[in-house]
Structure 1
Amino acid sequence: MPRIGSRIATLAAVVMLALTAVAAPASAQRSAAAVEAYFEFHYPPAPDRFVVKLTDPAAIQHARDLVSGATEDRPHIVGRIVKRPAPYNRPWSYHLDPGTVQFFDYAIEVCDASIRYVEDHLDEAGGAFLPGLVWCPWGSQLIREVPAP
């Protein structure tokens, strides 16, 4: 039973993430851009790698703690897909909106997909596939911090 409660809480968090990303004022987004860091993750067993840009100081610190091994809490990435390439995330034709990237322990299946699967089905994202463009790759693992482009 605790697992169901955990999944419901995660679903609520994903919904709040989607709503927060839409409702965030432009001034908050501009001030968050003053701090940024880039992290690479993968989704084993696939060899693909994906880079996310983080702009929230707490998320940046959490990512650094994950990479260094200082924490194992909330190890997976969640965020809202933007259907266009970002220069720091080649060769993929999509990226995650930096203002929406967070970390989680457990999530619902509807937002899970591999990096390559999202690329191959990007035209379907936002409908029944990855509703609200929220992507939470369950097996995502941060590998390292990468330099800014």
Structure 2
Amino acid sequence: MRRISTRIGMLVAAAVLAVVAAGPAQGKQAGDAAHRTRDESAAYFVMTDVTRSEFVIKLTDPRKIQHARDLLSGASHSEPHVVGRIDKRPVPYNWRWSFHLRPETIDFFDFAIEVCDATTPYVEDHLDEAGGPFLPGLVWCPWTSKLVREVPQP
């Protein structure tokens, strides 16, 4: 039974990784109004990992924002870890790090494959290697990640 559960967990993790790695279809936006609406509905959360380093993520999907708030309030305990695709550029809301997670790729998981696991400082120290054998496809899924608080929009 444990063997079946492990295989199911690995299949689910692979499916989540495939969806996140694929990202959304690229298309033209309907202008600045659509961009402003998305920014106004964004929410920002601080996550930590085993190193206790703080990393800020930006969520724009209302369903994911609600899931993050449910995790923080204790209303949910499922899928507590963060996964997403790295963008190798700093952003103002995550000033401490020279990379961030692309908001449209962020999701949550229970279990994931080992190839996307790393601590925040390790990613920072090896950012030039990310996207190759280290964090293939720039997908990052820190196994010990957890949300600790919501922060105001910068």
Cα deviations by residue, 1:64-95 (Å, 9 ceiling, x for unpaired): 00011110010000000000001001210000
Aligned to 1:19: 22
Q: Flag the 1:98–1:4 CA change in 2: closer, same or farther, 3 A.
A: same
Q: What does 1:1-149 correspond to in 2, within 5 Å?
A: 1-21=4-24, 23-27=25-29, 30=35, 32-44=38-50, 46-149=51-154
Tell me the amino acid that sits aligned with residue 120 of structure 2. I
5+ residue gaps, structure 2, are none
- Structural RMSD (CA): 1.6
1:20, distance to aligned residue in structure 2 (A): 2.7
Distance 1:20 1:123 in 2: 21
Distance 1:38 1:121 in 2: 25
Number of residue-to-residue matches in the alignment: 147
5+ residue gaps, structure 1, are none
The question of whether the paired residues in 1 share the 8 Å contact of 2:23 and 2:104 is answered with no
1:6, distance to aligned residue in structure 2 (A): 1.3
Tell me the amino acid that sits aligned with residue 112 of structure 1. D
Distance 2:19 2:26 in 1: 12
Tell me the amino acid that sits aligned with residue 137 of structure 1. P
TM-score by length of 1: 0.92
Tell me the amino acid that sits aligned with residue 93 of structure 2. Y
Distance 1:26 1:138 in 2: 34
1:47, distance to aligned residue in structure 2 (A): 2.5
Aligned identity (percent) is: 54
Tell me the amino acid that sits aligned with residue 89 of structure 1. N
TM-score by length of 2: 0.89
Tell me the amino acid that sits aligned with residue 141 of structure 1. K
